[in-house]
Amino acid sequence: MAHHLDPERMQRDSAAASQLAAIPTNRVCTMSTSIQESVSLALGSGGARGLAHIGIIECLIDQGYRIASISGASMGSLIGGIYAAGELDAYKRWVCSLGRTDVLRFLDFAFSGDGLLKGDRIMDRLREMVGERQIEDLPVTFTAVATDIERQREVWISEGPLFDAVRASIAVPGIFTPYEYQGMTLVDGGLLNPVPIAPTFRDFTDLTIAVNLNAKTPQSRRTDTLPASKRREPEADQGYQARIRQFLDTIGSNLVGSGDQRFGVFELTTRSFETMQNAIAATKIAAYRPDVIIDVPRDASAAHEFHRARELIELGYALAESAMEPRRAGAALGSCPTHAL
């Protein structure tokens, strides 16, 4: 293509150059703070540790990022879907109000061979809180990841009723009954993709951030990662864990052999599932490298400890701040252009 000289344009460019040269070299530049970077967020699976997603989302918003797209597996789909529907604050207030015994009230037992829990009570409560929503109508692009157990493949749900998609994505094998959806038998998305980065490849955003809830970190003890004021009393917690495991194992006693076995059905199922997720998560992150990874230690909480919502949210916020700090520092250094005379 040929470029022709334009006298009027040359005059405008000359005037602009004169104005640029007049800018003081010691002037503080804040140009970058007025531009919101758009984010694709991949929220991983990990039971109650997924409550850390709330703190991570809050931190990103506080730092000025615009969350344009969310892909979630299991608990990541639940938190991500509720945020996409604009009701994360209401959910946070509710979940932070739950005590240890409150959690038990949402356990609706299936008394069947394909899962201990039906999951209807918790889904009904979420529908009451958020309302019936269609995924395609949400202001934030949302994808719930589930697993087609019969065809042994990953399923991305990005349209249709929000809580049908969430229910399918949270169906931990052996714990929740599978969910029948559009002719498929679906179970937990974390079974094949515990850190669902791949669905974000369809997005046109500035940044991809993945949250891994199954990370192993140098400070792997959960009491080391929390503020001293938030550390719980080990004796009381161990008693609670023992009671809830015993309660669930009693319900599934037909699946348990002799009483001298080391693990009950509930603990063995959750530990086995998390062990598998740990290995798959490392592979997925290596294959689909995001711009930022936020690692939540896998021993930050047990899968069923939803009564610890407040401290897990705070942990998520702190981990997000730490993970995003290098980008903030880099942005501060590169925010002011150099003006050459």
Does residue 333 sit within a domain? no
pTM of the predicted protein model: 0.77
Does residue 292 fall inside a structural domain?
Answer: yes
In the residue annotation, 74 being an active-site residue is answered as yes
Q: Which of 74, 77, 169, 301 is catalytic?
A: 74
Determine the structural domain holding residue 151 and report its residue range.
38-217+264-325
* C-alpha 277, offset from chain centre: 15
Angle at 195 between CA 57 and CA 181, to 5 degrees: 95
**184 Rama sector, left if φ>0, alpha if ψ -120 to 50, beta otherwise:** beta
With bands split at pLDDT 50, 70 and 90, how would you rate the model's confidence at 75?
A: very high
Quick one: which of 257, 324, 306 has its CA closest to 79?
306
CATH of residue 270: 3.40.1090.10
Question: Would residue 272 show up in a list of annotated catalytic residues for this protein?
Answer: no
- Does some domain include residue 168? yes
Please classify residue 251 by burial: count the beta carbons closer than 10 Å to its beta carbon, then call 0-12 exposed, 13-18 middle and 19+ buried.
middle
Domain count, the chain: 1
Query: Which residue is it, tokens 């899962």?
Result: 115
What are 249-302's pLDDT values in tens digits? 554 444 333 445 555 666 777 778 788 888 888 888 888 999 999 999 989 998
Is 50 domain-assigned?
yes
Q: Is residue 31 part of a domain?
A: no
Residue 241 lies in a domain: no
Catalytic residue among 148, 188, 249, 295: 188
pLDDT tens digit sequence for 127-156: 999 999 999 999 999 999 999 999 999 999
Asked whether residue 99 is assigned to any structural domain, the reply reads: yes
